[in-house]
Structure 1
C-alpha cells in the first residue's frame, strides 16, 4: 500500500505541476503578447524553456514546502500511510482550485492553493501545522510581495517616463519591445525557480513521510528533472484565458510598461526565492506590478473592478483549497486507511 501511495502522490504532484504551468504561463508572457513584443506561440515556447532552466537553479523553496508547513511524523504502519494521504489530499485540493480559477479566467495563486491544501489536509489528519513558519514564510511574504511589486513598478515606471520624456515614440517603443524579450525570459526563469520547486517539495515530503529519504538529504535529481519537465509542458500548452485577463482586461499595456512590470516581478521572485526562501505567488507579483505601472497614467487607468475580482480570488485561495483538501482527506482516509 505504501509504495502505491507514494507512486500516486508523485503522479498527482506532477499533474499539479502541469496545471501550474498552463495556469501560470500567462504570468511570464501576457504582457509581452499584449504589447506585441512576442507572438503568443513564441512567447509560450520561450517561457517553457526558461521554466525548465529556472526549476533546476535551486531547492530552497522546495525545502520550505517539504519541512516548514506541516509536520508529518515518521512512524510505522497506518500512520505513515496517513501522512501520505495528507499529501495526496493536499494535491487534490490544489488541483481543484487551479482548474476552477483557470476556468473562470482568474489569475489566482497555485502556490497558495498548494499551501492551503497542505494546511487543510494536515489539520484533518490531526498532524501538526507549523503556524509560526506559515506566518513567516507564507503569510508575510504573501502580503509583502504584491505591495513591493506595486510600489517598485510605480517608482521605476516614473523614472522611465522621466528618462525618455523627450525621446521619439517610434524608436523608443521598438527598443522596449526588444527589451521585453529579455524581461519576459527573466520572469519565466523566476517562475520556474519558484513554482516548480514547490512540486519538488511535495514529492520530497511524500518520500520523507514514507521514510525513503531523511530530512537532511538533498532532493534527488530525478525529482528535479520530472518537476521541471512537467511545469514546462504545462507552460507550453498555454493559459490563454488568464493571459487575456492579465494582458488586456486589467489594463492596456504598452512596451515600456510591460518591460517594467516583468523586470520588477522577476526581481521580487529572485529575492524571495534566493534570499528569504519564501514560496511567494508569481501571479500576485506580476499582477500587482501591472497595476503599479498602470497607475502612473492615472488611477482610473487600472480596471479596479477586474482587480477586485482577482483580489477576492487571492483571499479565498488558501481557505478554499484547505477546505477542499480537508474533505478530500476524509474521503481518501475512509477508502485507503
Structure 2
C-alpha cells in the first residue's frame, strides 16, 4: 500500500493523503447518516437494545462492503464520460474529487444535523454530475458530453423506481400479514404491547424477523453504499498515481490472457454482425497502423483499437511487463472498447442472445480495469462500519414516529425492512446504486397508508423537500467548488 507514495512530489503526496482521507470521511459520515435507516425499526420496536443494534449493524455493513464486489463502484465512476476518465491528470483529478466530496459531506452533515433522512446516494451522484457539467462548461464541451447521460438516466430511474416500489411492496406485504394473521400481536405498537400485554419486547418470532431483517438491511446497505467509496478511491488513485493503478498489477497470467482473448473475440463478434454494425463501426475501412497516445474514443476506430490490444498484449503474462506509459495506453484501449460495446448494445439491432454474448465479452474485457485492491475495500469497509456505530439517534425517531400519525407496529417494521432488503438486493445484482434511506422511508410510509395510520404531512413534506433539493444543491455546490479550483489553477 505505502509504495504508492514513492516518487511523488511532496505536494501531490499530501494531496493524495487528503483525498483518501476525505473519501473515508464521506464513508464514515455515510455510516452514521444512514445507520438509523437500517436500525430505526429494530430500535423503535424494542427488538434490540440500541447499542447492540448499532454494533451489529456496523459489523454487517463492514461485511457487506467486503463481500459486495465492485459493480456498483464502477457504475458510479462511469457517470463521468469516457474521454474525461481517459484524460484524468493529478491536478484535475484532485480538484474533481475534493469538489465532489466536500459538497457531499456538507449536505450529508446538514441533513443529519436536522434529523432528516436524506439520501447519501443522491448527494454523491448529484455532486458527480455537477463536476461533470462544470468541467464541460470550462473546457468548451457541450453539456451532453460532460456527463455519461445514458448511465445517469439508468441510475436516475433506479433511484426513482426503488422508493416507489418500496412504498407499494411494503404496503402490500403489510396487507398480506393483516389478512393472514389478523389477530396477531404483531399488529400492536410498542406502546400498545406495553399497555395491554405488559411486555417490553415484541413476540419472539416477530422479534427474530425484525432483528434478521435489520441486519440484512445493514448488509445490503454496505454492499451498495460502500462501493461508492471504493469507486471514489479508485478515481483518486488512477488520476494521481496512474502507473500503479490504471490496470490491476496483481492480475494473473490467466486474467491477462482472458483480456487478450476478449478483444480477439470482440473483433469476431463485430465482423459476424457486420451487416447491422458496419456503418456504426466503420468495419469496411482498414484499421489504422496505430492510435496516438491520447485519442478521442470513436467507435469508427474500433478495429484499430482491437488490433492495438492484441499486438501490445501478445505474449504478456503480467502487466508489470509493460512500461508505465503503455499500461496507461492499454487502459485507454480497454475502456474505449467497453464504452463502444455498451453503445452497440444500446443500438437496438442485436438479438437477445447476441446482447448476452456481448455482455460476457465486456465482463472479460474489463476484468483487469474494473477492480479494487483489497486494502481499499477494507479501508472503506472499516470507515463505513465504524461510522455506523455513531450518530444514529437523530433519525430513529423520525422513521419510527414522525412519518405516520400513529407509532409503527411490529408488522410494519417487518414489512418495511423485508422490502428494503429485497429492493437493494435486486439493485446489487444489476450493479445499480440505490438509496437505502429512500427505500426504507418509503416502505414505512407505505405501511402507514396500508395500516390507515395516516401520514404526518409536515414530516413527509420535509423529507420530500430534502429529496428534491439534494440533487440540485449537491450539483451546484460541487460545480461551484470545482470551477473555483480550476480558476485558481489548482
The normalised TM-score by structure 2 is 0.65
**Residue 68 of structure 1: aligned partner:** 79
Once the two structures are superposed, residues 145-189 of structure 1 have per-residue CA deviations (whole angstroms, 9 ceiling, x without a partner) of 011101110111111111111446669844212221101011110
Q: Unpaired segments of 5 or more residues in structure 2?
A: 1-10, 140-145, 187-196, 248-330, 332-368
Partners of 2:174 and 2:35 in 1: CA distance: 24
1:280 is aligned, of 431, 434, 437, to 434
* Corresponding residue for residue 400 of structure 2: 247
Separation in 2, partners of 1:168, 1:199: 41
Alignment-derived partner of residue 58 in structure 2: 48
Q: Any conservation in 1 of the 2:80–2:132 contact (CA below 8 Å)?
A: no
Give the number of aligned pairs: 332
Which structure 2 residues correspond to residues 172-191 of structure 1 after superposition, within 5 A?
173-191=203-221
Q: Equivalent of 2:178, from 151, 161, 167?
A: 161
- In the alignment, which residue of structure 2 is the partner of 1:59? 70
The alpha carbon displacement at 1:230 in A equals: 0.2
**Which of 150, 154, 170 is equivalent to 2:167?**
150
Alignment partner of 1:84 out of 86, 91, 94: 94
Contact 2:74 2:370 in 1 (8 A): no
Pick aligned residue for 2:30 from 20, 37, 42: 20
CA contact (8 A) 1:94 1:117 kept: yes
Consecutive unaligned residues in structure 1, runs of 5 or more:
none
In the alignment, the residues of structure 2 paired with residue 217 and residue 173 of structure 1 have an alpha-carbon distance, to the nearest angstrom, of: 46
Q: Contact 2:79–2:128 at 8 Å: present in 1 too?
A: no
Scaled by the length of structure 1, the TM-score of the pair is: 0.93
Structure 1 pair 122–167 and aligned structure 2 pair: CA distance change class (3 A): closer
Deviation of 1:112 after TM superposition, in Å, equals 1.1
- Contact kept in structure 2, 1:74 and 1:209, CA below 8 Å: no
- Specify the alignment match of 1:135 in structure 2: 153
For the pair 1:213 / 2:224, whether they are aligned, the reply is no
| 1:113–1:318 CA contact under 8 A, matched in 2 | yes
